[in-house]
Amino acid sequence: MNMAIPENAATIKNNVRQLAEEIRERDLSTEFDALRKLPEDIVEKLRSAGVFRMNMPKIWGGPELNPMEQVEVIETLCWADASVGWCSFIWTDSGIYSGYLQDDVARELYPDLDMAQSGWVYPAGIGNKVDGGYELSGRFMFGSGSNHCDRLAAGFVVAEDGVPVIGPEGRPEWRVGIGKPEQFELLDTWYTMGLKGTGSTDYEAHSVFIPAEHTFAFSDKAPREGTIWKKPNHFLRKMSGVPLGVARDAIDRVTEILESKTDRITGQPYREMEIKQQVIARAEGKLGAARAYVFDALTTEWEKLEADEPLTARERAAVMISRQQAFQMGREVAQMMFDLVGADAIYAQNRLERLLRDMNTACQHVVAQDKTLQNPGGLLLGSEKAAADFML
């Protein structure tokens, strides 16, 4: 496999298409499931393809891809394998987080464009203030790709003498610390129904010192210029590629199966049966509608951010709603395709049962759950509390 130097969106997307074909052809799902993480050679191919550098800034020589381009990359990787795409959308956060640090500090922490970032950014730990920084302790969930990452993030509540510091909004102060993976203890907790290859294990910090300059708050204005860093929700924007890619994979696999499968009793080719034709068409419609909504919402948001124009309540809400709907669609389409094939779907060689397990696991992420719709719904109804949500 000859990959081009990943200088821009076009070369990265072309590299990823080649790599996705290879992963799909090799069908590494059994190996991924047994390891409960991705093998080293796949990680290094993703690195060489330029996946990890997607958010690295142009001022460093990075490509600084927009969210629509990133969704396409993750979509293609999830068409090959959901665990590969899932880890990839997280590993590429290296460029995003570096933009919330002072540039000289960021360059020291991220000396290479192709560094993989993992970690749980929500405040699960306690960071006690000490001279020069924070003493971090806590247990963090869902360290996807942490077995292969170059930097590991951990969200924490700031504390003084063990007492949480309350910020100006009346909530505990939330910061994110960046460290090296060897500073943390990775736990062997990733025994799950799906996304087994992501290695999304828990990890712990035991009085780990994190320098103050290696921490940031999403609520603060990023010191780096660039559209990526104008709103703190950028690390979530590329997630929609996961369900879009899995749904595409499911439809493609079932289409291939139905082209040669016949009814055991009547001998009629499945491709000529009306019910099979109708379900395939409905699945394509669901995927097409969800994909269009995602790209429309992201494109509108991005164009307004680039122009420094305010987004309407509907435009702000659409980004989160379209993402949640994409995940629900991905699970629905995976189930439709599983049911359409019939009893053969339960066999591992068809991979449909794995796609269904992967999507059910993915839909347990908070962005896919119905409770995620509360704030955008409130925004559409004029709620002042929802309007103040800086992640919307």
CATH 1.20.140.10 in the chain: give the residue spans. Answer: 230-387
Q: How high is the pLDDT of residue 373? A: 97
- List beta partners, residue 126: 137, 157
Task: Answer whether 154's CB lies under 8 Å from 124's CB.
Answer: yes
Chain mean pLDDT for the chain: 96
Residue 348 has pLDDT above 90, yes or no: no
Q: How high is the pLDDT of residue 154? A: 98
> Under DSSP, is residue 232 helix (H, G, I), strand (E, B) or coil?
coil
Mean pLDDT value across residues 168-187? 96
- Euclidean distance between CA atoms 391 and 316, whole angstroms: 9
Mean pLDDT value across residues 248-274? 91
The yes or no reply on domain 230-387 and CATH 3.40.640.10 is no
pLDDT band at 33 (very low <50, low <70, confident <90, very high): confident
> Cβ neighbours of residue 383 under 8 Å, at least 6 residues apart?
none
Closest CA to 176 of 134, 113, 221: 134
Residue 168 has pLDDT above 90, yes or no: no
CATH 2.40.110.10 in the chain: give the residue spans. Answer: 117-216
Q: Please tell me which residue, 173 or 170, carries the higher pLDDT value.
A: 173
* DSSP class per residue in 251-316: HHHHHHHHHH-B-TTT--BGGG-HHHHHHHHHHHHHHHHHHHHHHHHHHHHHHHHHTT-PPPHHHH
- Euclidean distance between CA atoms 16 and 96, whole angstroms: 20
Residue 334 has pLDDT above 80, yes or no: yes
Q: How high is the pLDDT of residue 339? A: 97
pLDDT band at 262 (very low <50, low <70, confident <90, very high): confident
Per residue in 51-68, pLDDT (tens digit) is: 999 999 999 999 999 999
pLDDT band at 271 (very low <50, low <70, confident <90, very high): very high
Q: How high is the pLDDT of residue 26? A: 82
Domain 117-216, architecture per CATH: Beta Barrel (2.40)
Q: How high is the pLDDT of residue 252? A: 97
CATH 1.10.540.10 in the chain: give the residue spans. Answer: 9-98
Residue 350 has pLDDT above 90, yes or no: no
Residue 27 has pLDDT above 80, yes or no: no
> Cβ neighbours of residue 101 under 8 Å, at least 6 residues apart?
109, 178, 213, 214, 216, 223
Q: Which of 26-35, 84-93, 194-203 has the lowest mean pLDDT?
A: 26-35
Q: How high is the pLDDT of residue 29? A: 76
pLDDT band at 28 (very low <50, low <70, confident <90, very high): confident
| Runs of H (alpha helix) within 54-124 | 67-80, 82-91, 93-98, 103-109
Q: How high is the pLDDT of residue 25? A: 85
> Cβ neighbours of residue 44 under 8 Å, at least 6 residues apart?
none
State which fold the 9-98 domain adopts.
Butyryl-Coa Dehydrogenase, subunit A; domain 1 (1.10.540)
pLDDT band at 210 (very low <50, low <70, confident <90, very high): very high
